[in-house]
Every structure is written in structure tokens, then in C-alpha cells.
Amino acid sequence: MMNWSRPPYWKGSDVEEGGAARPLYPMMLERPELRWAFVRKIYAIISIQMLLTMAVSAVVVSVKPISHFFVSSSGGLFLYVFLIISPFIVMWPLYHYYRRHPINLFLLGLFTVCISFPVGLTCAFTEGKVILESAALTAIVFVSLTLYTFWAARRGHDFSFLGPFLFAAVMVLMVFAIIQCFFPLGKISTMIYGGLASIIFCGYIVFDTDNLIKRYAYDEYIWAAVALYLDIINLFLSLLTLFRASDS
């Protein structure tokens, strides 16, 4: 007796149409069961990172002496600069030990805290309404773009071409930010910066989610989590900049 059953990750087509069986996610090189286990692991890590970020930010916002120290003392400025560059410092050992468990998870947690503290300081000087609007829109956009990317990848679409364009856009954004620091251009330019940054990091969510589905190796779960986590944080900060400028 012939067995017509196929694995669930293969999609059949009509023989009369000249088609043949094809995978639901054509770019996958391994069985989707293995890839979905990897995907679930990444999103579990990101969920823990976001919870840690919200906890640290809540402490910074609610404990007023913390934010007061950064604006009232000369040492606060130097400490703030150190907090800004601390994620880049942690990235160096994380790059060398990202395959060694459990030190990679410890360094990832430290990296998340280093990112969370400046985020909390930014929220401490922002109205609660603006924070809620930015957080809600970030969540909606992230979920929507994630679902779209999975849907598009299932139909064979590939978003790897976005990489060079997004990198170039980030370079332009960095130059724009540097110009803003030395030559402030006013509220309108700040809103333009926030809007452009939001669009760019929306593109990065699609790009990194596409890489998560197709390209990351199983031992690169730390980098996959870092990439998507930074996309979420940068999108939130971009929307925060946009809404804060429009609300002022």
C-alpha cells in the first residue's frame, strides 16, 4: 500500500499544474521542528529581558533620588556617560563567551541591565502618558511585524536584501543625532529624527526576525536575542522621542 502522508512542514501542489511538494518555509535547511524549538527559546529569552528592563526602569523612575542624582551633581554626568558606553564594554566578553553556558546568560543579563538603566533614566524625565503610548505602540508594531515576517517567510519571501540599506540608514541617523547634539534644530527636527528612527527599527525587526527563521545557527541564540531586544528598545526610544517632541 502506498503511503501518501507527508510531514506537516511540506505543502503539496496539484500534479496537473506541474508542481511538486515544497516546504512551507522554503529557505529552511533543517526540519522546522528543530527551528521552532530554537525560535521559542529566543522569544523566551527576549521575554525575560523585557521583564528585567521593565523592573529596572520602574525602580529608576519610582526612586526619585536616583534621577535627582544625575541632574544635580557633577558626578552624575560622568556616571551617565559610563552607563551609555557600558553595553559596548559588556559586548566584548559577550562576543568571546556567547557559546559558553552559563557565563553567556550571565553576560546577557548584565548587558540587559546596562541597557535598562539609561532607558529608565529617559523614562524618569518623560510624562507617564507618553511612556504608555510609546510602550503600547511598540508592542503592537513588534507583534504585527513579527507575524507578518513569519507569514511572508512561509511564502518564500526573503528580506536579507534589507541589510545594507538598514545599515546605511543607521549611519545617516547617527550623523543626524551628532548634528542635533551640537547644533539643535528644534522640535520639528527632533520629531523627524524620531519618525525616521522608528521606521528604520521597524525594518530591523523584519530583517532580524527573517534571520531568526532562516539563518541563525543553534549556538547563536545569544546574538539572535540581543538583535531583537535592541530592535525593540530602539523602537521604543524612537517613539518616545517622537511623542515627547510632539507633546512638548
Strands 22-23 and 10-11: antiparallel
Which of the residue ranges 19-33, 57-71, 108-122 would you say has the lowest mean pLDDT?
A: 19-33
Q: Residues 154-163: pLDDT tens digits?
A: 888 889 899 9
Domain-by-domain residue ranges, the chain? 10-247
Q: What is the mean predicted confidence (pLDDT) over 7-27?
A: 43
Distance CA 46, CA 13 (A): 37
Distance CA 109, CA 13 (A): 46
Confidence of residue 146 (pLDDT cuts 50, 70, 90): very high
Three-state DSSP state, 123: helix
C-beta of residue 231 within 8 angstroms of C-beta of residue 205: yes
Task: Kindly state the percentage of the chain with pLDDT values over 90.
Answer: 43
Q: What is the mean predicted confidence (pLDDT) over 194-214?
A: 93
Give residue 82's pLDDT.
Answer: 84
Prediction pTM value: 0.84
Confidence of residue 235 (pLDDT cuts 50, 70, 90): very high
DSSP state for residue 125 in the 8-state scheme: T
What beta strand segments (E) does 17-126 contain? Answer: 22-23
**Owner of C-alpha cell 551609555:** 84
Distance CA 110, CA 94 (A): 10
Selected residue with higher pLDDT from 34 and 120: 120
Q: How distant, in Å, are the alpha carbons of 12, 182, 229 from that of 125?
A: 56, 21, 23
Distance CA 25, CA 18 (A): 20
Whole-number average pLDDT of the chain = 83
Q: Residues 162-191: pLDDT tens digits?
A: 999 999 999 998 888 888 777 777 788 888
